[in-house]
Amino acid sequence: MAPPPFLTSPEQYKELFDSVDTFLLDCDGVIYHGPVVVEGVKTVLQLMRDAGKKIIFVTNNATKSRKMYKTTFDKLGIEAYEEEIFGSAYASAVYMSRILNFPKDKRVYVLGEKGLEDELDAVGIQRCGGTDPEDRVFIPSMDFSHFPADPTIGAVLCGFDSGINYKKLGKAYSYLRDDPNVHFLLTNQDRVFPTSGTTYPGSGSLSAPLVFALQGKREPTVIGKPNKHMMDAIIAEHHFDPKRALMVGDNLLTDIAFGLGSDVRTLLVMGGVTHKDQVYGPEPSDIRPTFVVESLGDFAVLAKN
């Protein structure tokens, strides 16, 4: 199979740009690296708006709500609107409320940050755990009396959690172990996340102890990229033609697989978590993007033409 085309010329950029009505844009690694906006990206986003393109920021980062992401974009000087932002925290809340019809009398035990809690609050789902200081206290004495049964728990939802500890894992495991009716949900399974030119363990790595402990007994439902749950939710809310859309991302396993799994063309950008040898090396990945480019900012050259 021939390798995907690596776009380098203004003519190639324009041909692709003109063929797209809806741009689905990953954030970390595509729009910015940590606190630094990718060079040329602001110009490219303005080109999209001037051309009447629909922009949807699609991120697996579950630590932030749409409102928090809007604040981040504002601080970076990036024009964005809450309705354009679709993170795995929001997608998880939508999935629980609309698809699962999560009972009003049940609570979800959260392994996650405030952004995930905010999105659950917005759809009226009761929660516990998360940023609760009581559950962010590690138990060095291994006192298992801290893990009592709780019949009010209807789901365990795992996202990125900087306060992860054995107490949280123990509680989540006991709820899932003891009641097969408790839903097991992951916002995403990202192994790592990119920031400031390097990577650190992602949500998937933090939820791995639960997945491993429950192996053979419970399989989690994963909401975020690359799973189709998220694409279905996005299309239902934004009503676009997948054939005229483009998923832009830096991660083969999440962004590119996400687009390909929903028959959406994909554009892989370098500089994130994927290296060129994974696409063009002697043993390339089975996940093959439709197109490859060095940076989304490269499309800024179209502003000069």
Three-class secondary structure of residue 193 per DSSP: strand
In this prediction, residue 237 carries a pLDDT of 85
Q: Is the pLDDT of residue 47 over 70?
A: yes
In this prediction, residue 305 carries a pLDDT of 66
- For 157-180, how does the pLDDT look when each residue is reduced to its tens digit (9 = 90+)? 999 999 999 999 999 999 999 999
Q: Which residues make up each annotated binding site for substrate?
A: 225
* In the block, residue with structure tokens 């995930």: 116
Measured at the CA of 261, the angle between CA 255 and CA 267, to 5 degrees, comes to: 40
26 in active site: yes
- For 219-272, how does the pLDDT look when each residue is reduced to its tens digit (9 = 90+)? 999 999 999 989 988 988 899 999 999 999 999 999 999 999 999 999 999 977
In this prediction, residue 188 carries a pLDDT of 94
CATH 3.40.50.1000 placement within the chain: 6-60+226-304, 89-222
Q: Which residues make up each annotated binding site for Mg(2+)?
A: 26, 28, 250
Q: Which residues contact 255 (CB under 8 A, 6 or more apart)?
A: 26, 225, 226, 247, 248, 249, 266, 268
The pLDDT-based confidence of 99 (bands split at 50, 70, 90) is confident
Q: Is the pLDDT of residue 216 over 90?
A: no
What does CATH list as the number for 89-222? Answer: 3.40.50.1000
Q: Which of 18, 21, 28, 132 is catalytic?
A: 28
Whole-number average pLDDT of the chain = 94
Q: Which of 26, 135, 161, 255 is catalytic?
A: 26
In this prediction, residue 163 carries a pLDDT of 95
What span, in angstroms and rounded, lies between the C-alpha atoms of 300 and 49?
Answer: 13
- For domain 6-60+226-304, give its CATH number from 1.20.210.10, 3.40.50.1000, 1.10.3720.10, 3.40.1350.10: 3.40.50.1000
Q: Strand order of the sheet with strand 265-269?
A: 6-7, 291-293, 265-269, 245-249, 22-25, 54-59, 85-87
What span, in angstroms and rounded, lies between the C-alpha atoms of 14 and 11?
Answer: 5
